[in-house]
Amino acid sequence: MAGSSKKAIYGAIIANTLIAIAKFVASFFTGSSSMLSEGIHSLVDTGNGVLLLFGIKRSKLPADQEHPFGYGKEIYFWSFVVAILIFALGGGIALYEGIHHILHPKPLENLIWNYAVLGVAIVIEGNALRIAMREFNLSRGDKPFMQAVRDSKDTSTVAIVVEDSAAVLGLAIALICVFLGQVTGIPYFDGIGSTLIGLLLISVSWFFAIECKGLLIGEGLLKTDLQKVSKILTSRDRVMTFNPPLSMFLGPNEVLLNMDIMFDDAMTTDEIEEEIDEIEKQITTAIPKINRIYIEADTIPKSEAPPRDIEIKD
């Protein structure tokens, strides 16, 4: 999935670069803090896209002596950096600009610039969001949007979806506040708009950082996937018992799975090896993203075997 997300990232980089230029030009002619905040937001998003591409490239490096499991988690690290940048540069500067213009309001000028740029930006950003959602929906299935975002382990695609969604919402906030400032003549709406955009970006970055943190420190398979593994083990007649499977994501499509399995002590070594091969085959067929399986095998008399139905807890 990380590879397929490149299309969405390239689309986001191009869109954000063009929009950032237009927003800064409009901010210069109108003096709008909301537009300046939006320009900074787009500029940060452009840099974030470059960082995500770098993370994807690094994550594909082959395993070596220092990193025997490969570099798959690089994408999680750079996604976390993106979350911090959204918070510090995007949200922080927008919040500062908003508070500054609330304390020192001034009327906007040449509003046609604001309306023109915001209108064009909404169209371009909306198209970028459409591309990102199309890539995201390839693995989403029938899950609700927020659940799919939380369950996804492809942080590069999620980052673009979250960024583009926040961008469209931020543009809508800026447009509404510019319009309210024009029709009411109240100059505070411009600063209010920038403050709201800042709070939006801080909220988005916090949510995304939490998602990245879980994967960085060793998040495992979802409960539904662990139940599939347990079901496969339970269905094998020669598996007497097993401990709950342990798993960890090494990348968006790379999962390490460790299992401690007790086999019938009447089995020979060759029979145990054949059984292990069949178990691994069934697991990788059911869950293709599991590509590293380590099984610690032991034996136990069938008469001493406890119930095999292992409950997978949340």
Residue 248 pLDDT exceeds 50: yes
Residue 56 pLDDT exceeds 80: yes
- Are 203 and 68 in the same domain? yes
Q: Residue 236: give its domain's CATH number.
A: 3.30.70.1350
Q: How far is CA 266 from CA 263, 275, 305, in A?
A: 8, 13, 13
What pLDDT is recorded for position 4?
A: 44
- Are 183 and 260 in the same domain? no
Task: Summarize the confidence of residues 279-292 as an average pLDDT.
Answer: 94
Q: Which two tokens stand for residue 127?
A: 């198209």
Single residue among 182, 216, 250 that ends a domain in this structure: 216
**Could you tell me the pTM of the whole model?**
0.79
Task: Indicate the number of domains in the chain.
Answer: 2
Q: How far is CA 28 from CA 185, 196, 238, 308, in A?
A: 20, 21, 74, 69
For the chain, give the mean pLDDT.
86
What pLDDT is recorded for position 314?
A: 52
Dump pLDDT digits (tens) for 258-278: 999 999 888 999 999 999 999
- CA end-to-end distance (rounded Å), the chain: 25
Query: What single DSSP character describes residue 118?
Result: H
Single residue among 177, 196, 216 that ends a domain in this structure: 216
Residue 3 pLDDT exceeds 70: no
Beta bridge partners of 254: 251
What is the H or E stretch that residue 199 is in?
helix 188-216
Domain span at residue 158 reads: 5-216
What pLDDT is recorded for position 228?
A: 94
**Of residues 95, 102, 82, 111, the one with CA closest to residue 9:** 82
Beta bridge partners of 10: none
Label residue 182 by pLDDT band (50, 70, 90): confident
Instruction: Identify whether 313 is part of a domain.
Output: no
Give the count of beta carbons closer than 10 Å to the beta carbon of residue 105: 17
Which of 12-16, 122-126, 207-211, 307-311 has the lowest average pLDDT? 307-311
- Are 108 and 196 in the same domain? yes
Instruction: Identify whether 311 is part of a domain.
Output: no
What pLDDT is recorded for position 208?
A: 87
- Are 106 and 208 in the same domain? yes
- Are 90 and 200 in the same domain? yes
Instruction: Identify whether 23 is part of a domain.
Output: yes
Task: Summarize the confidence of residues 285-305 as an average pLDDT.
Answer: 88
Q: What is the DSSP string of 40-94?
A: HHHHHHHHHHHHHHHHHHHHTSPP-SS-TT-STTHHHHHHHHHHHHIIIIIIHHH
Single residue among 216, 244, 268 that ends a domain in this structure: 216
Which residue has tokens 């390490």? 256
Label residue 249 by pLDDT band (50, 70, 90): very high
Under 8 Å between Cβ of 266 and 236: no
Under 8 Å between Cβ of 75 and 156: yes
Residue 312 pLDDT exceeds 70: no
Which residue has tokens 């691994």? 280
Dump pLDDT digits (tens) for 188-226: 998 898 899 889 988 988 888 888 998 899 899 999 999
Which residue has tokens 């496969």? 232
- Are 150 and 299 in the same domain? no
- Are 158 and 34 in the same domain? yes
Helix 188-216 to helix 74-85 angle, to the nearest 10 degrees? 160
Under 8 Å between Cβ of 156 and 9: yes
Tell me what percent of the residues of the chain surpass a pLDDT of 90: 26
Q: Which two tokens stand for residue 109?
A: 């000028």
Of residues 135 and 169, the one with the higher pLDDT is: 169
Dist CA 26 CA 19 (whole Å): 10
Q: Residues for the chain: how many in total?
A: 314
Q: 3-class secondary structure for 201-253?
A: HHHHHHHHHHHHHHHHCCCCCCHHHHHHHHHHHHHCCCEEEECCCEEEEEECC
- Are 40 and 162 in the same domain? yes
Which of 8-17, 227-236, 248-257, 285-294 has the lowest average pLDDT? 8-17
**Of residues 42, 35, 48, the one with CA closest to residue 79:** 48
Task: Summarize the confidence of residues 271-287 as an average pLDDT.
Answer: 95
Give the count of beta carbons closer than 10 Å to the beta carbon of residue 284: 15
What pLDDT is recorded for position 92?
A: 85
- Are 117 and 164 in the same domain? yes
Residue 308 pLDDT exceeds 70: no
Label residue 279 by pLDDT band (50, 70, 90): very high
Question: What sign results for the dihedral spanned by CA atoms 92, 96, 99, 105?
Answer: negative
Task: Summarize the confidence of residues 125-136 as an average pLDDT.
Answer: 85
What pLDDT is recorded for position 2?
A: 43
Dump pLDDT digits (tens) for 65-110: 888 988 999 999 998 998 888 777 778 888 888 898 899 887 777 7
